[in-house]
Chain A
Amino acid sequence: MKPKAMFVALAGIFAASAWAVETEDRYPRTPIVPEQGVWGDQGFSNTIQYWGSKEALNKNASLQDDPDNVWKLNHKHKDGDRVDMHPGHIGVEEGREMVDSWSSKKPEFLKCLSEGKGSLQGLAANYPKYDEKLDRIMTVEARIEHCSQTHLPKQIKQGSPANTTSALYVKSLSAGKPIQVDLSSAPVEQAYQRGEKLFYKRIGQLNFACASCHTPGSVMGHKLRGEVPTTPFGDVAHYPTYRTPVGELEPLHLRFVRCHKQMRAKPLPPGDPAYTDLEVFLSVLSNDYPISVPSLR
C-alpha cells in the first residue's frame, strides 16, 4: 500500500504544480487605458461586482455629487483635508527643517533636488519621471537619495526615516496639484508596461498578485477581513502617509515591502527598479488626481 500511496501523493503534487502554472494568468486582464488616468476608475468601481448589488450601486452612485459623502465611495477619498490635524503635519515640519538645513549648508543640494529651478514648489506632481543624465526613472525618494549622495556628506538612503520625512515635505509643496506623469517619453512607457506585468504577476507562498485583490471580479469592493480592497486608481496620491497602525510615516516602497511580507514573498529593498516600475504604473493610474499630502491612513 505504501508505494501506491506515495505515488498518489506525488501525482497530486505534480497536478498541483501544473495547475499553478496554468492559473498564473487566470486573472482576467482588466482593460486599463493609461491615457484615462484616474478616470479609468469609473469602469472599475461603478460596477455591480464592486458594490455587490444593483441597489447598492445606485445608492452609491448618488453619493458622487455629494461632496460631504463622496469619501464613502472609496477609502482613498478619505484624504488629509478631512482630518486636518494629524502627525503627518509634524512630519512636514520636520522635513522642512531637514531640507532647509541641508540646503543652507550646501546650496547645490537644493539645486539638484529642484533640477536647477531653485524652488521645489509643485515639482513633485510630475514624478516619477525619466532622467536623461542618469538614464533611469527617478521618484522623489530616489532624487533625494541621489542628491544627498552627490552633495551631502552622508547618503540618505531610500526607506530611511530621514528620506521619508524629507520626501513628505517635498510632496507637500505640490499638495492639491494634479499628478501628471509624462507617458509620452519612451522609458516611462516601457516602465509602465513592466509595472503592469508586475501588477498581474503571482508571487510568494500564497501565490498572490496585486490583481488578486484589486481588480473587478476579485475581492475588490467586498469585505476582506475588516477591510475593503480598493481599486488601484488614485491610490499613490497620498504617499508618503502617516500610518496609524504603525505609528510612523510610510513611503510607497515600504508599503510594497509590507504587501510582499503579507503575501509571504521576499521583499525587495526600497528603491529597487521593480518597485519603481510598479510606482510608475500606479502613478499613471492616478494621473489627474490631486496630490493629498500629508495624509492619514
Chain B
Amino acid sequence: MAGSIMIRANKKGELTTVKALIKHPMETGLRKDKKSGKKIPAHFIQEVSCKHAGKEVMSAQWGASVSKNPYFTFRFRGADKGDRVTLTWVDNQGGSESKETEVA
C-alpha cells in the first residue's frame, strides 16, 4: 500500500463491490495535546468520491465524526471486469489523494 488508500473492487453478478481503507488521522479539532495543553487542529476528510469511466458513481460528504483510518464499502452497477475505478478524498487542510484499481 503505497500512499494512504487501500482499495479493492470485485464484480459479482451485476454489482461491483468497492472496499477501501484510508489511512488518515481524522482529528476533530476538539482534542487537546496532553503535554502542551493546546488544541490539536482539526484534520479530517470532507469529500470522498469514486469515478468509473469518467462518471461519478459515489460521492460522500464526511465530517469530524468519522473514525480514524476509516474503512468503507459501497456497490454500484454498470462496471465490467478489467475496468478502472478511481477513488479520491479531499480533507479540510487541502490535502488530497486518489488511487486507481482494476475491477476483478
Q: A85 and B23: CB pair below 8 A?
A: no
Query: What B residues does A86 contact at CB under 8 A?
Result: 21, 71
Q: Provide the B1-28 mask, 1 if CB < 8 A to any CB of A, else 0.
A: 1000010100000000001110100000
Closest B residue, CB atoms, query A90? B23
Q: B8 and A84: CB pair below 8 A?
A: yes
Shortest C-beta distance, B8 to chain A (Å), equals 7
Q: B8 and A89: CB pair below 8 A?
A: no
Interface residue range, chain B: 10 to 19
Task: Give the complex CA separation of A86 and B20 in angstroms.
Answer: 9
Chain A residues in the interface with B (C-beta under 8 A): 84-87, 89-90, 93, 247
Count the A-B residue pairs with Cβ separation under 8 angstroms: how many? 23
- The SS class assigned to the B binding surface is strand
Query: What B residues does A90 contact at CB under 8 A?
Result: 1, 6, 21, 23, 69
Task: Give the complex CA separation of A247 and B8 in angstroms.
Answer: 23
Q: B6 and A85: CB pair below 8 A?
A: yes
Within 8 A of A (CB), among B33-88: 68-69, 71
Q: B68 and A89: CB pair below 8 A?
A: no
Closest A residue, CB atoms, query B3? A93
Closest A residue, CB atoms, query B73? A85
Q: B71 and A85: CB pair below 8 A?
A: yes
Q: Known contacts A85-B6, A85-B8, A85-B71: does B21 contact A93 (CB below 8 Å)?
A: no
Task: Give the complex CA separation of A149 and B1 in angstroms.
Answer: 30
Closest A residue, CB atoms, query B8? A85
Q: Known contacts A85-B19, A86-B71: does B1 contact A93 (CB below 8 Å)?
A: yes
Q: B1 and A89: CB pair below 8 A?
A: yes
Task: Give the complex CA separation of A120 and B8 in angstroms.
Answer: 28
Query: What A residues does B19 contact at CB under 8 A?
Result: 84-85
Query: What A residues does B71 contact at CB under 8 A?
Result: 85-87
Q: Which 6 A-B pairs have the closest CB atoms?
A: A85-B21, A87-B69, A93-B1, A90-B23, A85-B19, A90-B69
Task: Give the complex CA separation of A85 and B71 in angstroms.
Answer: 8
